[in-house]
Amino acid sequence: MARHCGVMAAPLARRAADGARRVCSAAAQRPWKLFGAMCLLRLPRITQPLEKEEEEVAALMEQIELEKSHYSDHEIRKLEEEEQLRRKKESLYDEDEARGKTVIMAQDLEEKWEQKFLHFKAAPRITEADKSNDRKSLSRKLDSNLMLLVKQKIGNQDLWLLPQVEWQPGETLRSTAERAMAMFLGDHVQAKVLGNAPYGIYKYKFPRAIRTENNVGAKVFFFKAYLQSSDVPQTELKADYLWVTKKELGDYLKLEYLKKVNRFLLDL
């Protein structure tokens, strides 16, 4: 049972207007426990597929551009060479002239380029991790954001959450969140935290059994960070972890928690 008896007796200055909670004595306890949680995002590496309307309009735009354009040098060369070929077939006048001219024709060049393009094999957009639905790997779903979820013990339950850690007096909430991240991913994670302010909050009250006057519930403050390094070393701690997209969050998170988290995540 995780009964938190920590006394958060930090003599902090409060607003005088806040009459409900006043600093009575040095041993004033706040009824709410503070947690800092980090929402670590792996940003997309490839572009998202186009929607149907987008594709249609893209094709239309290309067509309009072609109609409004003039011939380029390459196209003029191609047309002239076609003319020459045609004239050669019809009459034999140009044979003597053609010998002095270039051997490579525009058509040959185009074919050469086409061959080169076909030879090149790009990396696949749908990776193996996608096919095997390996939710622990970072190379799954390259076109959307992936979030880190860890299994943590809260109270007497094991829950899937964004990595969180209790706030300790003397540090800002941002550093709490960074500590949470470091705890689960190791010290050498390169992440860019987006600002000092929290993005969201999840408030919950402890079940009546543990609730006391001084220990009503907990507030979890969420921070957002972007993962900079392309791969995270697999030296994760014993906790279970997952990298999931926003849509898959519903499979793991509790409803109320999910509602609060969804508010500060953009659709990707």
Partner 1 sequence: MLYPAINEVAEDGSKLITVIYEYKVTPESVSPHALCYFSSCSSWLPQRVPLRGSHWQSSLLEFRTSLPVRAQPKKKKKVDVKKEQAQKERMKKKLKKLEKAAPELIPIEDFITPLKYSESNRVRSLPALSPEESERRVLLLKKWCLFKQKQDEAEKKAIKALVESQQEALKELRLESEELYQAAVRRDEGLFPFERDGPTYTPPLPGYDPPEGKCIDITKVYTQ
Sites of contact with partner 1 (CB under 8 A): 10, 12-15, 18, 21, 30, 32, 34, 43-47, 51, 53-54, 56-57, 60, 66-67, 69-71, 76, 122-125, 127, 139, 142-143, 172-174, 192-201, 203, 219, 221-222, 226, 260, 263-264, 266-267
Q: Which is nearer to partner 1, 239 or 250 (CB)?
A: 250
Token pair recorded at residue 178: 């960074």
Taking the least distance from each CB to partner 1, the nearer of 197 and 239 is: 197
Contacts of 211 by beta carbon, 8 Å cutoff, 6+ apart: 205, 217
Instruction: Give the pair of three-digit tokens for residue 217.
Output: 């519930």
| Helix or strand run (H / E) with residue 38 | strand 32-42
How far is residue 173's CA from residue 196's CA, in Å, rounded to a whole number? 8
What is the closest distance, in whole angstroms, from the C-beta atom of residue 195 to partner 1 in the complex? 5
Q: Compute the least distance from the CB of residue 229 to partner 1, in Å.
A: 13
CB nearer partner 1, residue 11 or residue 240? 11
Which among 160, 136, 156 is positioned nearest to 146, based on CA atoms? 136
Tokens of 142: 């390259």
CB atoms inside a 10 Å sphere around CB 217: 14
Tracing tokens 């006394």 back to the chain, one arrives at: 7
Q: Which is nearer to partner 1, 72 or 157 (CB)?
A: 72
Nearer to partner 1, 114 or 158 (CB): 114
CB of 104 to partner 1, least distance (A): 20
Q: Write down the least CB distance from residue 108 to partner 1, Å.
A: 21
Shortest distance (Å) from residue 96 CB to partner 1: 25
Output the smallest distance, CB 154 to partner 1, in A: 19
> What are the distances in angstroms from CA 66 to CA 60, 61, 82, 106, 109?
10, 9, 21, 20, 21
CB 138 within 8 A of CB 233: no
Nearer to partner 1, 135 or 224 (CB): 224
